[in-house]
Amino acid sequence: MEIGNARLARIAAHMLPVRAEESSIWRECTRAKGASAGFKVALLGACGGIGQPLSLLLKLNPLVSTLHLYDVVNTPGVTADISHTDTTAVVRGFLAQPQLNAALDGADLVIIPAGIPRKPGMTRDDLFKINAGIVKTLVEGVAKSCPNAVVAIISNPVNSTVPIAAEVLKKAGVYNPRKLFGVTTLDVVRANTFVAEVVGVDPKGVNVPVYGGHAGVTILPILSQVSPPFSFTAEEVDYLTNRIQNGGTEVVEAKAGSGSATLSMAYAAAKFAESLLRALKGESGIIECAYVASEVTELPFFATKVRLGRNGIDEIFPLGPLNEYERQGLAKLKAELKESIEKGVQFVHTAAK
Ligand SMILES: NC(=O)c1ccc[n+]([C@@H]2O[C@H](COP(=O)([O-])OP(=O)(O)OC[C@H]3O[C@@H](n4cnc5c(N)ncnc54)[C@H](O)[C@@H]3O)[C@@H](O)[C@H]2O)c1
Ligand SMILES: O=C(O)C[C@H](O)C(=O)O
C-alpha cells in the first residue's frame, strides 16, 4: 500500500527519535511483530568512538534480536540512524541515568565501553579517576536490572574496572564470576595482525594467546603458543612483544589527542560478543582470551584462554608451557597487575564508607 503525503507528514511529526515504537502513528503504520528469537544486548556508552561502530556491528549480528543503546548523550540520533539498517534486530535508545534501568531490563549481555579515552602522555591508569565511578554506577544498574546478564567491560583501566565490577556485584549479592569479562580481544587481534605481518601469512589463520592484563607490560603475548606454530628470532620476539604491548599507545599517539582505538576495538568487541552469544546459544568449543576472575596464578584476576558456554565461562585453561622470555614477562607483570586489582577493590570499599 502506498502511503500518501499527508500520512507521511503525520508519521514524520510523530516519530520519536528514541523510541519510534512508542508513537501511535508508528503502531498504526507498521506490522512489526516485535523482536525475532535471539539475545537482548545492552550497550552502555553507545554513542562514543567505540560505541557507535560497535552498535552498528551488533545490529548486523543475527544472534542479536534486541539492541539497547544507552549513553548520557546523543542516543536519539544514533538510535534513529542505526535503526534504519535493514537487519532484524530491534534497536531502542535510552538517554541518561533515569533510563539506565530500562536500558538494562532483561539484558542477556551487557557491553560497557562508557568512559573517557587516553590522550598522548597518559597511562590507562590515569583514566581511573573518572572511569572508576562511571563503571561502578553502570554495574550497580546491572545488579539491579539484569543480575543474570553476562557483562563485558571495555572501559579502561580494564585491570581495575573489572575488579570494581566484581565488588559492586558482590555487594549486591549477585556476583557470578563466570559471567564477568574484561575485554582483551584487541590485544589478540593486534597480536594476530603483527605476527601475520612478520611471517607473511593471512592473519585470519593466526591465533596468538595473550595473557595477563590490559596495560603495558601486563599485556603478555605468548608467542611460543601461537597457532599454527611459527619460530621467531630473538629480535622478532622483542619487536612483536613491544609492539603488542604498546599497540594502544601507537594509536593514541597517531590520533594526537582525539582519542584512542575505536574502530579496531569495535571490531574486537563485536568478535568477542559473537563468541559469547554463540556459546550462550549452546555452541561448544568456543575459546577466547579474556581477563576474568581466575586461580591460574596467585592474582585474583588474570587473562588467559577460557572456554565459553551457556553460563559464561565453562573452563579456564592453565598457562601451559612458557619459555624463559615469557616467564620473565610474567614475573614482571604481576606487581603492576596486583596493584591495579587492589586499587579497584579499594575504590568500591572506600566509596561505600
Ligand atoms: N579494552 C580495550 O581494549 C579498550 C580499547 C579501546 C578503548 N578502551 C576504552 O574504552 C573507553 C571508551 O573509549 P571511546 O574511544 O569510545 O571513548 P569516547 O569518549 O569516544 O566514548 C565514550 C562514551 O561514553 C559515554 N559516557 C560517559 N559517561 C557515561 C556514563 N556515565 N554512562 C554512559 N555512557 C557514558 C560518553 O558520552 C561517550 O559517548 C575508554 O575508557 C577507553 O580507554 C578500551
Ligand atoms: O590504549 C588505550 O588507551 C585504549 C585501549 O586500551 C587500547 O589498547 O587501544
- pLDDT tens string, the chain, 353 residues long: the values are 334 454 444 333 333 344 545 556 655 665 555 556 799 999 999 999 999 999 999 999 999 999 999 999 999 999 999 999 999 999 999 999 999 999 999 999 999 999 999 999 999 999 999 999 999 999 999 999 999 999 999 999 999 999 999 999 999 999 999 999 999 999 999 999 999 999 999 999 999 999 999 999 999 999 999 999 999 999 999 999 999 999 999 999 999 999 999 999 999 999 999 999 999 999 999 999 999 999 999 999 999 999 999 999 999 999 999 999 999 999 999 999 999 999 999 999 998 76
Whole-structure pTM value:
0.94
Please list every protein residue whose CB sits less than 6 Å from any atom of ligand 1: 44-45, 47-51, 71-73, 113-118, 127, 131, 134, 138, 154-156, 158, 183, 186, 214, 259-262, 265
ipTM: 0.99
Q: How many whole angstroms separate alpha carbon 110 and alpha carbon 43?
A: 6
Cα within 13 Å of Cα(1), Cβ side: 8
Query: Does 68 participate in catalysis according to the annotation?
Result: no
Mutate to test the pocket of ligand 2, among 193, 253, 260, 265 (most ligand atoms within 8 A of CB): 260
The b-or-e profile of 151-168 (16+ CB within 10 A means b, else e) is: bbbbbbbbbbbbbbbbbb
Amino acid letter at 350? Answer: T
Q: How many whole angstroms separate alpha carbon 312 and alpha carbon 79?
A: 28
Q: Annotated binding site: which residue ranges?
A: 45-51, 71, 118, 124, 131, 154-156, 190, 265
Q: Is 293 helix (H, G, I), strand (E, B) or coil?
A: strand
266 in ligand 2 pocket by Cβ < 6 Å? Answer: no
Grid coordinates of 194: 603483527
Grid coordinates of 104: 538494562
DSSP state of 121: T
Q: How many whole angstroms separate alpha carbon 336 and alpha carbon 249?
A: 18
The b-or-e profile of 258-283 (16+ CB within 10 A means b, else e) is: ebbbbebbbbbbbbbbbbbbebbeee
